[in-house]
Amino acid sequence: MVKLDVTLLRYMTRDDFRVLTSVEMGTKNHELVPKSLIHSISSLRSGSVSKILVQLTQNKLISYERGKRFDGYRLTYRGYDFLALNVLRNRNIITSVGNQIGVGKESDVYIASNESGQQFVIKLHRLGRTCFRKVSEKRDYNKSGFKTNWIYLSRLAAMREFAFMKVLFENKSIPIPEPIDCNRHCLVMELIDGKLLNHLSKDDMKCEKDIEILYEKLMNLIIKLSNDFGVIHGDFNEFNIIIKSGTLEPVLIDFPQMISVSHSSAQTYFDRDVNCIVEFFVRRFNYESDFMPCFESIDKENSDKMIQINDVVEQIDDKDIDIDIDFKDLMINNQNVESSSKIEENNEKIVENEMMANIERLELVEDLDSKQSQSQDNYSDESSDRGVSSVATTFAPQQIKEKLQRERKLKDNRLKANKANKNIKGESSAFRRRRKDDLATVNDDLKAYNCERELY
């Protein structure tokens, strides 16, 4: 479990967040982000980048890992929390973070407040916990099909939930908390004064009629979501429903798993939502009712609401920008780094093609020269009889061909050495460490048989 301690946030500088953002951007196409890429994206001095990376690693905002082939830095959930909270602080959404009021299989919930003292709820999505590792199978967050990390999936889940809440709240027909803002995997919403349906007991009910009224309200919410918006909650149970204090008004929470009524598994999720409420009322209040909504009676004409929600997700993605950092400059630098590496690869291919073309041309020249040499020998025999002689000093085509092949081999070896020595941290890279370990193993074996010698 990730413990959120925001004390360090007030002491972090602009450069700290710039380096942290560079690590986040490098994670887009690197599992472990090398120091050289962080330096090029952040556009800071190499010495200051090294110092900041050490501090961030000590504070567990990033982690340094040694892979099988490469070494690099990885962004942690704590560092991702700090990036999101820093943006919300700069937008004057929140100014302080309080106690934790809830924890789930995929999120942590905290209390926060702004300058005027108004309290909010911040929900930090944390996908990838041991109890919920099959999220990629159960949810369709990552539609691209490519393997991705848990932090990126958490960001997609937060944007998806904020989009659902925004559309539902604007309609005013479904009681939900007011969505305030969203950045990365952090969602800010209204604080509801009430308690979970799971904490409700018979003592909280004035009479048995209240149980029947609450049951009908919950079933009507399921029907209204399906008919008016064309969506199914997907996790409609006693842990995702808040009952307001002093009333029996239910408020829905937790929306990232919502699906359209046209989804292939829509009927399965709809029946599961209904059965969760039925079983809870039988177990807690010993109440049974004949009123059970059926999936066949749903009006499926409003399934196009999902298109509107997807548009909201794209708007949030465009808005998800850190205003405290020159994010455009960082993006340009990152694109320049990627484009320069592609240019180098293209140049290598062009040089290699030119070398091959030269070798082929020399082979053709060699064949022509051999034919010409034969004719010149015949001519020299004839001219010697006439007293005519000629002297010419040229390189043989075979010598030129061998020289070009040697140069090509040397260039290939240099390119391999440069690729192996990339992603170096300090004085040793993963390639050099493996070589040193192998030499140390061989030395130990030689010492065991008393036949030591120098290995280099």
In angstroms, the CA 333 to CA 353 distance is 30
Cα–Cα nearest to 82, from 16, 169, 128, 29: 16
Alpha-helical segments (H) within 104-230: 135-138, 150-171, 208-229
The structure tokens 């140049």 sit at 347
Number of H helices, E strands in the chain: 12, 12
* DSSP 8-state assignment for residue 91: T
The structure tokens 């980048």 sit at 49
Contact in structure between 212 and 287 (CB atoms under 8 Å) = yes
Pairing of strands 186-190, 179-183: antiparallel
Pairing of strands 62-66, 71-75: antiparallel
For residues 419, 423, 428, 433, the Cα torsion angle rounded to the nearest 10 degrees is: -70
Rg (CA), the chain: 34
For residues 204, 208, 213, 214, the Cα torsion angle rounded to the nearest 10 degrees is: 40
Exposure letters 369-396 (e unless 16+ CB within 10 A, then b): beeeeeeeeeeeeeeeeeeeeeeeeeee
Alpha-helical segments (H) within 296-425: 305-319, 327-386, 397-420
Task: Give the end-to-end CA distance of the chain in Å, rounded to a whole number.
Answer: 47
Query: 3-state DSSP call for residue 394?
Result: coil
For residues 268, 270, 271, 277, the Cα torsion angle rounded to the nearest 10 degrees is: 140
* Biggest distance spanned by C-alpha atoms of the chain: 135
Q: Is 235 a catalytic residue?
A: yes
In angstroms, the CA 447 to CA 221 distance is 78
Q: Which of the residues 210, 235, 271, 369 is marked catalytic?
A: 235
Which of the residues are catalytic? Answer: 235
